[in-house]
Amino acid sequence: MKKELLIASALVSTLGAASVANAVTATMSGGYHTGLIGKSTDAGTDTTTRLSQGSFTVSLSETTDGGVGIASSFMLANESDTGLQTSGLTLTFTDGSKLDVISAGNSAAGHDVSVPGGAGEAGLTVTTANRASDGLDFFAKATAVGVEWHSPADFMADGLKVSASFSTDTGAAPTASLVLESSWGVGATYVTSAGDTAVTIGAGLADSEYKISQTAPSTGSNGFHVGISAVTGDLTVAAGYANGDVVSGGTTEYEVNDNTVTKVGAKYVTGDITLSIGYSSGEGKDSTTLGTAGTTEDAKDTLAAGISYAVASGVTANIGFKDIDSQNDGSSDTAGGTSWYIGANMAF
């Protein structure tokens, strides 16, 4: 309870300093993308489907007489993924630091290095029994009751930014499904140069605890990631690595031990054309009994490539290709295969 009161007090005291205004500043952004997706699975199934997805976001911001910025945003439509991605409040202070309150997220997730991959929406949905994660921040969990602090730029050293987050129990009663009890995360990004090359290094660390069926917290999700990106002229190369354990699931919980993710990629821009290629490999030992380490390994290896062409301001044509190798419990399954995409994105 003390944690929730501290969070609420920080929010109320900061907002109380704001002067009364007629309206905040609102901006709108969004996009629409459509195209064709072709899939050929290892099971011998070939399909071609039409993609049609759009999003519309409203961003709100204002500054108090004391120079404190207050911002938030919400979505009116989002067909590109699940949820409308509504955010809490972001408070920006005069020294350049920021504080996210309500649905703040986990700091480890905000510092993973972007690794180039393909283009467009090429991809396959592997079997749900394959629980190997292939993202660098798969272990970074958070509840809606949390805060995240972001340092100003050049924190303690030129080019360094850090952040730290904490989230706590929402009070939801744990039933037969997992309930996240608490989490914390830290992350850092360092930007420097080596001759004509701009170098970015990112790293993050996080841990969390869960409840299930009114018992003490079960095994939690935890891990770390580190990555590096180098930009020389029009060429970008990047690599990232993550390792950790994760628990998840609904009425059927599962645990993945020693999940590792390795990602490498490159991107080259020539005029209005961007060429990209990337490879990712995720593998971990899964178990359907919480607290018991898994003994069989799931894996997901993905090779992706793409070509993007800037047709006009805000309009991009994409051609993408992916090859996915899926392994469940140590054996190759038929959920993998190849996929292609051709389409266009329009953003405003």
How does pLDDT run across 66-120, given as a tens digit for each residue?
999 999 988 887 776 556 666 788 999 999 999 999 888 899 999 999 999 888 8
More confident residue, 284 or 159: 159
Cα–Cα dist 246/283, whole Å: 12
pLDDT for residue 81:
59
pLDDT for residue 125:
77
Percentage of the chain modeled with pLDDT above 70: 84
Q: What is 2-347's CATH topology?
A: Porin (2.40.160)
Q: Where along the chain do its domains lie?
A: 2-347
Q: Is the pLDDT of residue 149 over 90?
A: yes
In this prediction the pTM is 0.83
**Can you give the chain as a three-state secondary structure string?**
CHHHHHHHHHHHHHHCCCCCCCCCEEEEEEEEEEEEEEEEECCCCEEEEEEEEEEEEEEEEEECCCCCEEEEEEEEEECCCCCCCCCCEEEECCCCCEEEECCCCCHHHHHCCCCCCCCCCCCCCCCCCCCCCCCCCCCCCCCCCEEEEECCCCCCCCCEEEEEEEECCCCCCCCCCCEEEEEEEEEEEEEEEECCEEEEEEEEEEEEEEECCCCCCECCCEEEEEEEEEEECCEEEEEEEEEEEEEEECCCEEEEEEEEEEEEEEEEEECCEEEEEEEEEEEEEEECCCCCCCCEEEEEEEEEEEEEEEEECCEEEEEEEEEEEEEECCEECCCCEEEEEEEEEEEC
Task: State how far the alpha carbon of 293 is from the alpha carbons of 113, 136, 258, 331, in Å.
Answer: 29, 21, 9, 19
Cα–Cα dist 157/18, whole Å: 32
Mean pLDDT calculated for residue range 169-180:
72
